[in-house]
Amino acid sequence: MRVEIVAVGTELLLGQIADTNSQWLGERLAEHGVASHFHQHVGDNHERIVLALRTALARSDAVIVCGGLGPTQDDITRAAIAEIMNVPLVRHEEIAEAIRAMFASRARSMPDNNLTQAEVPEGATVIPQTRGTAPGLICPVGEKVLYAVPGVPYEMTDMFQRAILDDLLARQRAAGLTAVIRSRVLRTWGSSESALAEAVADRFTALQSDPNVTIAFLASGIEGIKVRVTARGDDEEHVAALLAREEALVRQAITGAFGDIIFGIDEETMEHAVAERLRAQGETLGLAESLTGGLIASRLVNVAGASHWLRGSVVAYDAEVKFDVLGVARGPVVSPEAAEAMALGARRVLGASVGLSVTGVAGPTEQDGQAPGTVFVGLAVGDAVTHRRLQLPGDRARVRAYSAISALDFLRRSLDERVRSA
C-alpha cells in the first residue's frame, strides 16, 4: 500500500519552518510496513492544493495532508478536499460546541472565524480534537482515502496514533498488502560521506540483486554521517535476520577501512556513547571549556542521570581564568600545553577522575599565532595526559559545534583504548 504525504503551508516553501511532520510520518509509516514513495510541499493556494492532492491520489492509495485546517483565511485545506470529493462543506454543530467549550474553559472569548473549523466535507469522518480546535478528517475518495490533520506537530501525532494508523492498517490488511520494514542506523564520526560509500561499495554491488535490503547515507552536519541499512520482508523474524546479517557486513567494511568510527546506533548520540563508557568504567568527568563555552556540558546533560558521572564544567573563556582557576602556566592559551594543563586543572578543581578540555580559535582572526579553526583537546585519564590537535572548517558557530563533538569522540576512543589495553 502506497501512502503519500502532502504538507500544506507557504511558510514551508519559504523555509521559515522545517517540515518535521513529513519526517515523523515517514518514519512511523516505515515502522509499520507502509511504503511512502512521495512527499509534497504546497503553499496556501486553493488551486495548487487541489492539484497536489489530485496528483497524490493518482499515484498513491492513501494521502495524509498536514496543515491548512485552522481558522484563518489562508487555512483552505477543507475547501480543497471538498472540491476533490465533489461535495459541499457541512457545519457540524457538535464540533462547534466543542470549540466553544474549549475557549470557555480557558476564560477566553472565541472569534467567530473559529467556527469555520466545524465545516466538514460531506461524507467525511471526523477525528475529534483532544489538544486544539481543528478536528481531523478521514475522507473517502473512490477506492482511496485522504486523511487531513492539523499542521501543529503534537496535534498531528496524536491524531495519527489515535485514529489514522489503525484505519490505514485495516485498509492494508483488507487489500492483502502486508509487509514488515525495519531499519538500523549506524552513526559515524570522522569520515566523509564519499569515503564511507567507497568503503561499502562491495555491499552496494552485492545488493543490486536483492530488492529487500538497501543501504543509504544520511549526512547529518555536526552529528556526522549516518549509514542506514533497511530490510523488508513478510514477517518480523525474516526481516530481523536480513537486517542483522547486513548490519554485520557493513560494520565490518567500515571498521576495516576506518577503525572505530561507529559510535552509536539509531538514536544514540555521541553524548550517550560517552555516558555509557563512563558509567561502565566507574569514572567521573570534569570539563574545562574555552572556545566551546559550555557546549560540551550542555550536550552531556541531555543524558538522563548525568549527575552520577558528570562533575561539572569550568567555562574558562578569559585567559586569567585559565591561569588562576585551572593552573595553566602564563603564556599562549591556544597550545597543546595549555590544553593538557586545563584538563588536569578541571580534574583537580572539580574532583573528577577524568579531565577533558578544549581551547582554540573560533575566528574570524588568529590568536597566539594559530589560524581560525585550530583547536586543541586535552585529556587526563589516570596517569596519562594527552592532547589532540584539530583543524576545523567553517564559521565560529560551526567550529565551536565541531569542537564539542570532536572532544567527546576523543574521550570515547580513549576510554575504549584504555579497556583494550587493560
Residue 274 C-beta-side C-alpha neighbours within 13 Å: 29
Residue 1 is predicted with a pLDDT of 82
Q: Is the pLDDT of residue 3 over 90?
A: yes
Name which CATH class applies to 180-265: alpha beta
Q: How far apart are CA 329 and CA 321, in angstroms?
A: 11
What does the DSSP 8-state code read for residue 367?
Answer: B
Taking the C-alpha atoms of 322, 324, 327 and 330 in order, what is their torsion angle to the nearest 10 degrees?
70
Q: Note the pLDDT tens digit of each residue in 361-388.
A: 999 999 989 999 999 999 999 899 999 9
Fold of 3-174: Molybdenum Cofactor Biosythetic Enzyme; Chain A (3.40.980)
In this prediction, residues 396-409 reach a mean pLDDT of: 96
Label residue 180 by pLDDT band (50, 70, 90).
Answer: confident
pTM of the full predicted structure?
A: 0.75
| Rounded Cα–Cα distance for residues 308 and 342 (Å) | 22
Comparing 311 with 109, the larger pLDDT belongs to 311
List the beta bridge partners of residue 89: 121
- Beta strands 354-360 and 285-289: pairing type? parallel
The domain ranges of the chain are 3-174, 180-265, 277-421
The pLDDT-based confidence of 106 (bands split at 50, 70, 90) is confident
Q: What is the mean pLDDT of the chain?
A: 92
Q: Tell me if 44 sits within 8 A of 151, measured CB to CB.
A: no
Q: Which CATH class is domain 277-421?
A: alpha beta
H helix runs in 230-334, sequence order: 236-258, 270-281, 295-300, 319-324
User: Which residues partner with 65 through β-bridges?
Assistant: 6, 148
Q: Facing residues of 376 across strands? A: 359, 389
DSSP 3-state assignment of 188?
strand
**Residue 143 three-state SS:** coil
CB 147 within 8 A of CB 62: yes
CA distance linking residue 277 with residue 142, whole number of Å: 56
Tens digit of each residue's pLDDT (9 = 90 or more) over 46-89: 999 999 999 999 999 999 999 998 777 777 999 999 999 999 99
422, pLDDT greater than 80:
no
Contact 277, 416 (CB under 8 A): yes
* Cell output for 191: 569520515
Percent of the chain with pLDDT over 70: 100
Give the residue-averaged pLDDT of 190-218: 91
> Any bridge partners for residue 140, and if so which?
145
Task: Give 125 or 96, the one with higher predicted confidence.
Answer: 125
What's the pLDDT at 78? Answer: 92
Least confident interval from 58-62, 210-214, 327-331, 396-400: 210-214
Q: Report the pLDDT value the prediction gives residue 108, as an integer from 0 to 100.
A: 76
**What does the pLDDT look like over 30-43, one tens digit per residue?**
878 788 899 999 99
